[in-house]
Structure 1
Amino acid sequence: MKRAIKLLSILVLGLLLFAWIIHEPLPKGNSNAEADTLAHKMLNALHYQKYKDTQYIEWTYRNGANQYKWDKENGVVEVKWDDYVVLLNLVDTKNSKVTKSGKRISHQKENKAVAKALKMFNNDSFWLVAPYKVFDAGTKRSIVALDDGSSGLLVSYSKGGTTPGDHYLWRLNPDGFPNSFKMWVKIIPIGGIEATWDDWKVMESGAYLPQYHQLGPLTLGMGAIKGYN
């Protein structure tokens, strides 16, 4: 028993040391007109207006476990997982509707399902459309000098979504296209973890959306994405 406890203690210390080694502090940036200009450059590269005009976006997450059909124009998302189907009203969640195995459920269970659907949508849609959210209400944009001499775009979220207070440092290609971002988020205790944004597809509507992301050894696939009107 003592040997097992000792080994566990060594493992925990090793993990803490590893986290300390790879952890990066949140960089300080300059919030100025240059930051907004860089953000607009990214949006222009992605054909933001095409995304804005796209009415429907469909995708899946977690190997198809979470399924979404988002009516952007009307602010409604059909969210499916397990035996649940939630017609999530993003404008007023109280007007959302829930069925499980095709049947309505109790009011209390319905509220829990709506809350879960909203949390899922906030997380899973961010991995799909994060670059388009750099001017959302409550965001702050800053310029950060990167190691290669280029400028990175640091976007901080003071409100909105499920975890306000998160920060994302975008690395852009010379043409403004997003290549990756580093994260400082509440759900990950290590700062500066990087995820790729480099496998973009053009939707039927003309909008650019990412096919997948590489996060260390993990691949976050977005399934068969559709964007149309």
Structure 2
Amino acid sequence: MKTIYKAAVLIITVLFSSTAVFAQTKDKKANSIVQEMLTAMGGIKNYNATHFIQWDFVNRKIFWDKWTGDVRIENPIAKQVILVNINTLQGKVYENGLLLNDDNKTIELLVKAKNWWINDSYWLLMPWKLQDSGVHLTFVKTDQLPNGKMVDILQLTFNGVGVTPENKYLVYVDKKEHLIIQWAYYQNFNDAEPKFLKPWNNYQKVGSILLSFDRLNEDVGPKNVIVKSNFDASIFTKL
């Protein structure tokens, strides 16, 4: 018998939906830079039409039906397969090849899987999410990087959304290519120095859009990205 669980209390807020609906900030320059960037990456229409995305992140493998919110996360270290809908938190958990029947542990792992998905998705799809509701985007300055490239620097903060709303990011948009080429992560808004400054490079066309993955000179990040229109939907219902 199939067992379906739904968390009684949903603490975290979804940053991602099947389609991008922009809530533009008052910073017109920042909005203009993002619009140029999204056009260079294939356009929002093509992003919204993207149906299925699969990728690896650290030791996890993620499968996402972008239209329904169904997610499959394979976590081989813990010998887990978690099937969850990130919109409803309904799903199932398998451990060691067996369906988990502990309701409390199942709910705990469904929430954990959604948190993993939010994190892992952001490492892949952040450029497409800069104008989501609850995201505050501002233009900081135009600057020259040590390699000579001119960039527009945008500041990204959150207003009560996501798992860690106190975070801050700076994204560096190449003025010539109109693509993000690096990003800086600040654990807290007032931190003087970032926790990391990492490349956002190696853009590749998957489906009808550009995504950055298998990043050069970077061990951490999304890898082995696959975009499909046709796929076996049973991967979201069966082990």
Query: What range is the shorter-chain TM-score in?
Result: 0.7 to 0.9
Inter-partner Cα distance in structure 1 for 2:27 and 2:205: 32
- Mapped partners of 2:192, 2:218: distance in 1: 16
Q: 2:140 aligns with which of 141, 144, 148?
A: 144
Spell out, residue by residue over 1:4-23, the C-alpha distance to the aligned partner (whole angstroms, 9 max, x if none). xxxxxxxxxxxxxxxxxxxx
2:7 maps to what in 1? Answer: none
**In the alignment, what sits opposite 1:160?**
161
| Partner of residue 67 from structure 1, selected from 61, 69, 80 | 61
Assess if the C-alpha contact under 8 Å between 1:77 and 1:89 holds in 2. yes
- Amino acid paired to 1:168: Y
TM-score, scaled to structure 1: 0.77
Instruction: Give the conservation status (yes or no) of the 8 Å contact 1:31–1:140.
Output: no
Distance across 2 between alignment mates of 1:58 and 1:99: 20
CA RMSD of aligned residues (A): 2.2
How many residues get paired?
193
Cross-structure match for 1:104: 99
What percentage of residue pairs aligned between the two structures are identical? Answer: 22
What amino acid is the match of 1:180? Q
Structure 2: which amino acid aligns with 1:39? V
Contact preservation (8 Å) 1:207, 1:227? no
Aligned to 1:68, what secondary structure does the other structure show? strand
Kindly indicate whether the alpha-carbon contact (under 8 Å) linking 1:168 and 1:183 is maintained by their aligned counterparts in 2.
yes
**Structure 1 unaligned residues grouped into runs of 5+:** 1-29
TM-score normalized by the length of structure 2: 0.74
Secondary structure of the equivalent of 2:143? coil
Give 3-state SS (helix, strand or coil) of 1:225's partner.
strand
- Greater CA drift, 130-139 or 167-176: 167-176
Counterpart contact for 1:137–1:159, Cα < 8 Å: no
Could you say which structure has the larger radius of gyration? 1
- Show the counterpart of 2:200: 197
Q: Quote how far apart the aligned CAs of 1:36 are.
A: 1.0
Separation (CA, whole Å) in 1 of partners of 2:170 and 2:85 = 30
2:85 partner amino acid: N
Give the conservation status (yes or no) of the 8 Å contact 1:197–1:212. Answer: no
Where structure 2 has 5 or more consecutive residues not aligned to the other structure, the ranges are 1-24, 145-149, 230-239
Compared with structure 1, are the counterparts of its residues 213 and 31 closer, same or farther at alpha carbon in structure 2 (3 Å cutoff)? farther
The code of the aligned residue for 2:119 comes to N
Partner of 2:237: none
Which consecutive aligned stretches of 4+ in structure 1 deviate over 3 angstroms post-superposition? none
